[in-house]
Amino acid sequence: MKKIILLSLLAIFMGSLAAPAKSLPKKRMALQLYSIRDVLGSPEKYAQNHEKVFKQLAEMGYTDVEPAHYGNGKLYGISPEQFKADCAAAGLNVISTHATRGLSAEEIKNHDFTEALKWWDECIATHKAAGCTYIVTPGFGTPKTLAEGQVICDYQNEIGKKCRAAGIKYGYHTHSHEFQKVEGTIWMEYMMDHVAPENMFWQMDVYWCVMAKESPVQWFKKYPGRFALLHIKDKFEVGYSGMVGYDAIFNNAALAGLENYVIEMEGTDGTIDIMEGVRRSAAYLRGANFVKAAYKK
């Protein structure tokens, strides 16, 4: 019986990989462009490849992108208006980006965000011009003490206020280190309790949560409504390993407060290239009956 079930599941998975994109249901889904950094990871690569790559992503079923190359008021070396236009030409929206300005040891010691918040003024203006709904900090290091951690929380509250004033939602992307303890308290739990929900949502990376031996759904239950975005990831392409319970995660989307999800890949197992990996990830979720066509109301 177990063998039959396993073969059936494998057939479903392989079927989703082979199914033509046009035959799969349309769903709103984003790709974190860090996934394809080998083809779009620099201004030079972007200029050479973006038209072809964006067209391919749209054909795979992606509707949105989440860039990961912000600097000095530009995305991939070009103006936010041009980046938005490049995406729109392929039928893609710029939903969010990963961008942040960390604090120096001196700034943490002095509880001084003056220069850091000036940086955010330009960053927020760029994201507004690109049409983003969200800006996501890709992570901070784990503080040595809760006093240091409180300064980081205060900083994130200030960033969130600035973003809200501009009509953008500010979020924080988790890895696995946020589940470590600082002075006996789980760092993520401390941040959850000391950064106001209206100032910051959470973009949980479900793969790194599982790698930290934590349950995404348990965190949804503990902090309902706080997870506006999710990074949907696996060891390689989504659905590859069987390690992540995507059905339970998506079945608890309302509890999480999910508005949109973003597929991300760190790489492949070497048997396929990254573009095939992101295609298979999209096909897996488009073919999964536990994933809705859209989540944001």
d(CA 156, CA 229): 17
pLDDT of residue 296: 83
pLDDT in tens, 217-233: 999 999 999 999 999 99
pLDDT of residue 118: 97
pTM of the predicted structure, to 2 decimals: 0.91
pLDDT in tens, 111-147: 999 999 999 999 999 999 999 999 999 999 999 999 9
For residue 10, pLDDT over 60 is answered with no
pLDDT class of 3 with cuts at 50, 70, 90: very low
For residue 7, pLDDT over 70 is answered with no
pLDDT of residue 291: 98
Q: Which residues pair with 203 in a beta bridge?
A: 173, 229
The arrangement of secondary structure in 2-287, i.e. its CATH architecture, is Alpha-Beta Barrel (3.20)
Q: What is the mean pLDDT of residues 99-105?
A: 96
Query: Among 19-23, 77-81, 103-107, 268-272, which is the least confidently predicted range?
Result: 19-23
pLDDT of residue 20: 63
Q: Which residues pair with 158 in a beta bridge?
A: none
pLDDT of residue 12: 43
pLDDT of residue 76: 97
For residue 28, pLDDT over 70 is answered with yes
Single-letter residue type at 225: G
pLDDT of residue 21: 67
Looking at the chain, the whole-number percentage of residues with pLDDT higher than 70 is: 92
Q: What is the mean pLDDT of residues 195-202?
A: 98
More confident residue, 176 or 8: 176
Instruction: Label residues 106-137 b or e (16+ Cβ within 10 Å = b).
Output: ebbeeeebeebeeebeebbebbebbbbbbbbb
pLDDT of residue 11: 41
pLDDT in tens, 66-86: 999 999 999 999 999 999 999
What mean pLDDT is reported for the chain?
93
